[in-house]
Chain A
Amino acid sequence: MTTTPALQLKSIKKAYGAVQVIHGIDLTIEEGEFVVFVGPSGCGKSTLLRQIAGLDEPTSGEIILRGRDVTHVPAAERGLSMVFQSYALYPHMSVRQNLSFGLENLRMDRAEIARRVDQAAKMLQIDTLLERRPGQLSGGQRQRVAIGRAIVREPVIFLFDEPLSNLDAELRLQMRVEIAQLHADLGNTMIYVTHDQVEAMTMADRIVVLNKGKIEQFGSPMELYHHPATRFVATFIGQPNMNLIPATVLGAGAEGLTVEFLGGSRVTLPVEAGKARAGDKVEVGLRPENLIVGQGLSMHLRVLERLGGTAIAYGQMADGLKLCAALPGDTAVSEGQTVDLSFSPADAHVFDAQGQVMRRQQAPALAA
């Protein structure tokens, strides 16, 4: 059985004057999904979201909403709603008026408006604040009102543009849970923009990683974590960041690719060689949590952060390369020491000179 996807983007491009901001995006979002757009600042997340919302028109490409081409339909008629980074609450209207303004524009029945406003207010626990102005609310309350304004429209898709970035850490955590809860309750499709990868990892059903106006990878959080498609995604997802160690290809064999690090140590990694030839430069990506104490890489320990369960060790290899490892919390090392680290070849990611990942072998080890 095939259902119509909630939203399809077909080779969306957007240029402001001569500056190309979005370089052709294809994306299909299923009904009821929570999709997060994540990427560094300026990569075009907001721009893409605004195309979807209808606040801007793409230079080329198609936007298909539940099977209907809405590329040139104005925002008002798409039936979406959006929560803005700065909330964009109408400062001269009370909370109730803020919530009902959109419904009045649709010439909805007054009783129906009141019903929806009250329902949303109760759901978000702002029913005691309805007569206040936005200026008289706390940051978290404003956030709720902004979400409430989106809810009362009963939209096809919710759009969020970094809605939590103006909140302090604690409140951000709380609202994150609430939005996730909201998604569970309403079951609507939601598109959520953020540049905080923790938010992305915790909330998303699927994540779109954007970089420089292109999609780097689209997949579930765990897919992105375990199988990053590019060097960019690999470093972007995961905390602390993945270590990238330059290496040179020595040759490819049945067990995989043999590489040599700058220090001279060699290792064979279970990835498909593809077009790699001996002498090619590659980078070996190792997540800090995959590094263990043992023989292999030796690191001069500079800073040790003991977090309790884990201890994050920052240091340098002999050639000056920075390295970070997440060790068990009670590991007996101290700053200034030299620590020897090793890793399991199966945990290593290998990226070619273009930053593309080299596919893992369908290793027998996995089957075992």
Chain B
Amino acid sequence: MSAVSTFLTRTKGRDGQKGTVGLQDVLTYGYLIFGVLVILAPVLWTFLSSVKPERAIDNFDTRLLPMAPIEQQVEGIGLKEVFLYTNEAGEETEVIKTGPTRKLTDVATPDQPTAVFTVPKESLTVAEEIRVATENYLDPILRRNGQENFTFFTYLFNSVFVTVVATVITLLINAMAAFALSKYKFRGRLTFTLLIVATLLIPSSIILVSLFFVVWSFGIFGSLWGVIIPAAATPTGVFLLRQYMLTIPDELLEAARMDAASEWRIFWRIIMPLSLPALSVLAILSVIWRWNDFLWPLIVLISDPSAHTLQIGLTTFSGEFDSDFHYILAMTVVSLVPITLVFVWLQRFITTGIATTGLK
């Protein structure tokens, strides 16, 4: 409680006057809260919607909680929807409809379905309960109730495979290149550095068509390798790592040389461990890039459903079931959960890491 009150009455800084809340603080926190609302509200709304029953989704029920009509097994009739009847005195009774809905509708209590009586339509309301619609998630994942097309685990595997393999390759070869460019003097170093700057300036989408030709002639079109390999060498990564490795003192390398270490051992045992901060930033960036990659996988993998990544799978799924919003929303949530967990787990590290390790 006291934390809340100090939070609320906090002044603009250590040197602000104590005890008053400046307008600057109000504006600052107002901006922050507004911003976070804009960012989180749609995500949370999607999550809340994804657990609503199909009917609530189809009716665009905008209440926060997942409400579903109560249904009850009635003897001799079967499953019937339950309504609440309010009589003139204001008492409520649970009833079921026994006939079509008219101005005056025939109803009966569930216990005595044969004792029909008539009430005005306006006095009936749908009886509802809170029900989490797990079937939104389970149907596509377990491939039941006709949801055969969303092979979730295949997609997940493909996505994880692409992300992990591409990230490992990226880290390894970018670190090797950065090591060469930062710690050796050799003929052509400037040329190579400039070449890599040049790739930094070539937007990937303008070489789309011819990259397609190259990947096709290598025979990796349609396979996951066609997504992994072309993007494995990233100029951003080389630069980020090079910049970091420049700060490692040369004397360490020389000490290792005196210690009879081969150059590869120096790379592996000295340079790599010492570049860990920069490597982890690149790893995070690479995971974000590869996991969220869309256009290139769309081109390379679209023809083979068993090679779809989660993103492509979700796209085709959303396209096929344009109206099955409850499944789409559930699968959207499923595919945002892994990256959100990674984010929550590493958030402090991600933001400070990216902000401090350059990217300048």
A and B touch in the complex (CB under 8 A): yes
Q: Which chain A residues in 97-137 approach chain B with CB under 8 Å?
A: 101-102, 105-106
Q: Once bound together, how far apart are the Cα atoms of A53 and B257, in whole Å?
A: 10
CB closest chain-B residue, reference A75: B257
* B273 in contact with A88 (CB, 8 Å): no
* A75 in contact with B258 (CB, 8 Å): yes
* A88 in contact with B251 (CB, 8 Å): yes
Say if the beta carbon of B260 comes within 8 Å of chain A: yes
Task: Using known A-B contacts A91-B274, A92-B273, A101-B269, determine if residue A106 contacts B260 with beta carbons closer than 8 Å.
Answer: yes
Q: Once bound together, how far apart are the Cα atoms of A82 and B261, in whole Å?
A: 14
A44 to chain B, nearest CB (A): 17
Say if the beta carbon of B146 comes within 8 Å of chain A: no
* B260 in contact with A102 (CB, 8 Å): yes
Q: Once bound together, how far apart are the Cα atoms of A193 and B249, in whole Å?
A: 20
Q: In the complex, what residues of A have CB within 8 A of residue B258's CB?
A: 53, 55, 75-76, 80-82, 102
Contact with A along B248-262 (1 / 0, CB 8 A): 010110111111111
Task: Using known A-B contacts A101-B269, A105-B265, determine if residue A90 contacts B252 with beta carbons closer than 8 Å.
Answer: yes
Say if the beta carbon of A349 comes within 8 Å of chain B: no
Q: In the complex, what residues of B have CB within 8 A of residue A55's CB?
A: 254, 257-258
Q: In the complex, what residues of B have CB within 8 A of residue A75's CB?
A: 254, 257-258, 260
Say if the beta carbon of A86 comes within 8 Å of chain B: yes
Say if the beta carbon of B270 comes within 8 Å of chain A: yes
Q: Once bound together, how far apart are the Cα atoms of A91 and B269, in whole Å?
A: 11
CB closest chain-A residue, reference B260: A76
B26 to chain A, nearest CB (A): 44
Q: Do most interface residues of chain B lie in helix, strand or loop, or is the interface mixed?
A: helix
Say if the beta carbon of A153 comes within 8 Å of chain B: yes
Q: Once bound together, how far apart are the Cα atoms of A344 and B266, in whole Å?
A: 61
B5 to chain A, nearest CB (A): 41
Q: Once bound together, how far apart are the Cα atoms of A146 and B258, in whole Å?
A: 12
Task: Using known A-B contacts A101-B269, A105-B265, determine if residue A88 contacts B257 with beta carbons closer than 8 Å.
Answer: no
* B261 in contact with A101 (CB, 8 Å): yes
Q: Which of B251, B259, B262, B274 contacts A92 (CB 8 A)?
A: B274
Q: Once bound together, how far apart are the Cα atoms of A54 and B259, in whole Å?
A: 12
CB closest chain-A residue, reference B272: A92
Say if the beta carbon of A77 comes within 8 Å of chain B: yes
Say if the beta carbon of A232 comes within 8 Å of chain B: no
* A88 in contact with B252 (CB, 8 Å): yes
Q: Once bound together, how far apart are the Cα atoms of A88 and B258, in whole Å?
A: 11
Q: Once bound together, how far apart are the Cα atoms of A106 and B258, in whole Å?
A: 11
Say if the beta carbon of A84 comes within 8 Å of chain B: yes
Q: Which of B251, B252, B261 contacts A102 (CB 8 A)?
A: B261
Q: In the complex, what residues of B have CB within 8 A of residue A86's CB?
A: 249, 251
Say if the beta carbon of A85 comes within 8 Å of chain B: yes
Q: Once bound together, how far apart are the Cα atoms of A357 and B17, in whole Å?
A: 75
Q: Once bound together, how far apart are the Cα atoms of A50 and B249, in whole Å?
A: 16
* A76 in contact with B270 (CB, 8 Å): no
Q: In the complex, what residues of A have CB within 8 A of residue B256's CB?
A: 90, 101
CB closest chain-B residue, reference A76: B260
Q: Once bound together, how far apart are the Cα atoms of A85 and B255, in whole Å?
A: 11
Q: In the complex, what residues of B have CB within 8 A of residue A77's CB?
A: 260
Say if the beta carbon of A149 comes within 8 Å of chain B: yes
CB closest chain-B residue, reference A100: B259
B139 to chain A, nearest CB (A): 50
Q: Which of B249, B262, B274 contacts A76 (CB 8 A)?
A: B262
Q: In the complex, what residues of A have CB within 8 A of residue B273's CB?
A: 92
Q: Once bound together, how far apart are the Cα atoms of A5 and B149, in whole Å?
A: 82
Q: In the complex, what residues of B have CB within 8 A of residue A149's CB?
A: 255, 259
Q: Once bound together, how far apart are the Cα atoms of A80 and B269, in whole Å?
A: 21
Q: Once bound together, how far apart are the Cα atoms of A149 and B252, in whole Å?
A: 13
* A84 in contact with B255 (CB, 8 Å): yes
Q: In the complex, what residues of A have CB within 8 A of residue B254's CB?
A: 50, 53, 55, 75, 82, 84, 88
* A76 in contact with B257 (CB, 8 Å): yes
* B261 in contact with A85 (CB, 8 Å): no
Q: In the complex, what residues of B have CB within 8 A of residue A92's CB?
A: 273-274
Q: Once bound together, how far apart are the Cα atoms of A101 and B252, in whole Å?
A: 12
CB closest chain-B residue, reference A107: B260
Q: Which chain B residues in 221-261 approach chain A with CB under 8 Å?
A: 249, 251-252, 254-261
Q: In the complex, what residues of B have CB within 8 A of residue A81's CB?
A: 258-259
B151 to chain A, nearest CB (A): 43
* A105 in contact with B260 (CB, 8 Å): yes
A92 to chain B, nearest CB (A): 4
The 4 closest A-B pairs by CB, nearest first: A102-B259, A76-B260, A88-B255, A88-B251
Offer 6 A-B interface pairs, CB within 8 angstroms, sorted by A.
A74-B257, A82-B254, A91-B274, A92-B273, A92-B274, A105-B261
Interface residues of chain A, those whose CB is within 8 Å of chain B, are 50, 53-55, 74-77, 80-82, 84-86, 88-92, 101-102, 105-106, 149, 153
